[in-house]
Amino acid sequence: MPRGDQLARQWALVRLLSGRTGRTLAQLQAELGVDKRTAQRDIAVLESAGFPITSEQRNGTVFWHFMEGFHVEAPVSLTLTEQMALYFTKGPLKPLQGTPIYESLESALQKIGTTLPPQSFQFLRGLDHAVSVRTAGLKDYSQSKDVINVLTRSVLHKFTTRINHHTAQFERGIERNVDPYRLWYVNQGIYLVAYDHRSGEIRPFAVERISAAKPTNHRFEIPADFDFEEFSEGAFSVIWGEPQEVKIRFSRSQAPYL
């Protein structure tokens, strides 16, 4: 069974166990559409995750519910257009499939879906076939999951990080110590904006060209005068340099399409 379906089912179980009366094992089986063993396993998964689940016997029947005083936050209510907007984000973020970022988006959509009535949940899942976003030149980040995890933590906690970065000129890669300022998603690619100790410059590194990343024990502070907006506005996409004036001529027949 896909991991997303398991997460959706377990999130639905959280909602069912939040009721005051609780649920019998048979009721959980029916409402989740699973067999007895799967329902028991899902309860065990929630218990291992720290949810305070208890059971009590009433008239010879066992009911499962959360311990008294424990409350799960009410789900966020989304309008139809808000649901569609979330699904639109899946298209542009498709290059990030296989990364923690995309997996978290999928998980969030599954959790939101389980708070809806069955008909609305089916509609939400059906949007995959009703909404399309075309992307071109996708980069493959399926092998970058561990690197992105390390870089995300290093950015958040401000750890100088040792990376191995390779280019067309240096296929075997160059070891660099960098201070990661932020991850930058631009032109369907992820870049690490960091201060490079080797060159003494703030520069972007294409994440797919980073084969390894390991945080050091050294912490850094981003200079107070660093302005990311100013830094990014000074680039043509992710290329820096002196501006050049260019004239492009189009035929008369093509001019109306520009």
187-226 pLDDT, tens digit per residue, is 778 889 999 999 999 989 989 899 999 999 999 999 999 8
Kindly state the average pLDDT of the residues 135-148.
73
CATH fold of 145-233 reads: SH3 type barrels. (2.30.30)
Q: Which residues pair with 190 in a beta bridge?
A: 185
Residue 78 vs residue 192, higher pLDDT: 192
Residue keyed to tokens 């750890």: 159
Q: What distance in Å separates the CA atoms of residue 239 and residue 48, rounded to the nearest whole number?
A: 48
| The residue type at 210 | I
Say whether 145-233 and 3-66 share the same fold.
Answer: no
pLDDT given for residue 255 in this prediction: 78
Residue keyed to tokens 């959980």: 28
Q: Is the pLDDT of residue 251 over 70?
A: yes
Q: Count of H helices and E strands in the chain? A: 8, 8
3-66: CATH class: mainly alpha
Structure tokens at 110: 């599954």
pTM for the predicted model, two decimal places: 0.53
What beta strand segments (E) does 169-230 contain? 174-186, 189-196, 201-206, 210-219
The ranges assigned to domains in the chain are 3-66, 80-130, 145-233
In angstroms, the first-to-last Cα distance of the chain is 48
Cα–Cα nearest to 236, from 226, 244, 247: 244
Span 20-66, pLDDT tens digits: 778 888 988 888 888 888 888 888 888 877 788 888 888 888 888 88
Contact 202, 231 (CB under 8 A): yes
Q: Which residues contact 37 (CB under 8 A, 6 or more apart)?
A: none
- The number of residues in the chain equals 258
Q: Quick one: how far is CA 128 from the chain centroid?
A: 18
